[in-house]
Chains A and B, each alone.
Chain A
């Protein structure tokens, strides 16, 4: 069973549907006990960093995720969920993340050259930088769907793929049992479903 963390905003319907499509059982939850009883965790990608980080802190869900991650349970962060894995974010102020992966989250326009549109919206090609269990059955150059205005930096040792948008933007990260995708696998067609399936099959 996969625990999909509910920060209380946005559309979790698509993610639930895509998990059910690949035959994974998932429960959308705000309950730390449910998080403890599941064997994998997904931090989904909706809302603002500060609100989501506060929700994780105030409900005890953040501590539950950290405790389970330390036990070695696979954790996947999607979009904002990936950004929450890092040390801190500069999205409207400075906010602490979960520090499961070393790195920072900064506005995209401070990283890429002028003239590139913000948000970075659309299908962009993955460039593999390192092997990852998430890449089974997909190829370098496959396109996935991005929607974001902030991006992860100072995380080189964890980066497994990037996407070119004026500069190499962090697309996926991996550190031991912790995984992140800046794009939305649940909106990335067959490639995205394959990535989700690979996560669901990561050995405990």
Chain B
């Protein structure tokens, strides 16, 4: 049986992890490579690296980090942030990324997902979409959630899956940072709309939030979070043990 995935997301800026905290068994919390290894040893099923630098120097450092991580961590690595062209895909795939996540870039260039899927395969292309309710409708936002595109989120997701997106990360701006649980109504609608894996993001504050997600939406594939893992409110091994107790299919580390 396929297991539900738990995915920590690491924001990387100028070569260091932005959010982080004092894990006692970790020497350098700001090192993305160390943090990646720590999460992997604690049961992370996959890692997302999000590049929030804009400078060329930041990009170069990001590439080095990715390469170093790929040398040490043998689970899937997804890279997002600043992916606007096929050259961006090529740049991160060569450094060891397995999947590439596109967000604003796919809105700007509506052919990007289709061209990338044809070249690298559907499984390599992840659509990441930031969604917020506007007048009772789900709208797609870009530029880190600052700009409303006016696009209907469900139509946009269906279009991108049609173009070849192999997975969808749904980030709810309404629940993000609130730590009161994932956006279940939005996620239910997305799961009903498409037949590719859907990853929930935004709103996790405790272990129960993940349990509720997987129990309420059996067709959701994974839960992604950043700060609850980085600040130690949720330890991945504790979370997965709890999921197993509740009968949710999960991969337990040996």
Residues of A at the B interface (CB closer than 8 Å) are: 9-11, 13-14, 17-18, 20-21, 46-48, 117-125, 142-143, 145-149, 164-165, 186-193
Docked-complex contact A143 and B98, CB < 8 angstroms: no
CB distance from A158 to the nearest CB of B (A): 23
Given contacts A14-B96, A187-B74, contact A143 B122 (CB under 8 A): no
A97 to B167, CA, bound (A): 29
- CB-CB nearest 3 A-B residue pairs: A143-B251, A123-B251, A147-B123
Docked-complex contact A193 and B74, CB < 8 angstroms: yes
Docked-complex contact A14 and B74, CB < 8 angstroms: yes
Tell me whether B128 is interfacial, beta carbon within 8 Å. Answer: no
A168 to B99, CA, bound (A): 26
Choose from A11, A47, A123, A189 the contact partner of B3 (Cβ within 8 Å). A123
CB distance from A95 to the nearest CB of B (A): 16
Tell me whether B254 is interfacial, beta carbon within 8 Å. Answer: yes
CB distance from A168 to the nearest CB of B (A): 12
Closest chain A residue to B97 by CB distance?
A11
Given contacts A10-B93, A48-B121, A120-B2, contact A145 B70 (CB under 8 A): no
Q: Which residues of B contact A189 (CB under 8 A)?
A: 40, 74-75
Closest chain B residue to A165 by CB distance?
B2
Q: Which residues of B contact A9 (CB under 8 A)?
A: 119-120
Q: Which residues of A contact B120 (CB under 8 A)?
A: 9-10
22 residue pairs A–B, Cβ–Cβ below 8 Å: A10-B120, A11-B94, A14-B74, A14-B96, A17-B74, A46-B121, A47-B121, A48-B121, A117-B195, A118-B195, A119-B123, A122-B222, A143-B251, A145-B76, A147-B123, A149-B122, A164-B1, A186-B74, A188-B74, A189-B40, A189-B75, A190-B254
Residues of B at the A interface (CB closer than 8 Å) are: 1-3, 5, 40, 45, 67, 70-71, 74-76, 93-98, 119-123, 166-167, 195-197, 219, 221-222, 251, 254
Closest chain B residue to A142 by CB distance?
B254
Given contacts A17-B71, A117-B221, A187-B75, contact A122 B2 (CB under 8 A): yes
A122 to B123, CA, bound (A): 11
Docked-complex contact A123 and B74, CB < 8 angstroms: no
A147 to B3, CA, bound (A): 13
Q: Which residues of B contact A146 (CB under 8 A)?
A: 2
Most B CB contacts (10 A, CB to CB) among A11, A120, A125, A142 go to A11
Q: Is the interface of A mostly helix, strand, loop or mixed?
A: mixed
Given contacts A11-B93, A117-B196, A187-B74, contact A149 B3 (CB under 8 A): no
Q: Which residues of B contact A48 (CB under 8 A)?
A: 121
List 5 other contacts, CB 8 Å, given A121-B166, A186-B74.
A122-B2, A122-B3, A122-B197, A124-B3, A147-B123
Choose from B3, B95, B221 the contact partner of A13 (Cβ within 8 Å). B95
Docked-complex contact A187 and B195, CB < 8 angstroms: no
CB distance from A78 to the nearest CB of B (A): 13
Q: Which residues of A contact B119 (CB under 8 A)?
A: 9
Q: Which residues of A contact B98 (CB under 8 A)?
A: 11, 14, 187
Closest chain A residue to B3 by CB distance?
A123
A125 to B95, CA, bound (A): 29
Closest chain B residue to A186 by CB distance?
B74
Docked-complex contact B96 and A17, CB < 8 angstroms: yes
CB distance from A129 to the nearest CB of B (A): 16
Docked-complex contact A123 and B221, CB < 8 angstroms: no
Q: Which residues of B contact A193 (CB under 8 A)?
A: 74
Q: Which residues of B contact A147 (CB under 8 A)?
A: 76, 123
Q: Which residues of A contact B45 (CB under 8 A)?
A: 122-123
Closest chain A residue to B44 by CB distance?
A189
Q: Which residues of B contact A13 (CB under 8 A)?
A: 67, 70, 94-96
A165 to B2, CA, bound (A): 7
Q: Which residues of A contact B67 (CB under 8 A)?
A: 13
Closest chain B residue to A79 by CB distance?
B123
Docked-complex contact B70 and A14, CB < 8 angstroms: yes
Q: Which residues of B contact A46 (CB under 8 A)?
A: 121
Q: Which residues of B contact A149 (CB under 8 A)?
A: 122-123
A89 to B196, CA, bound (A): 23
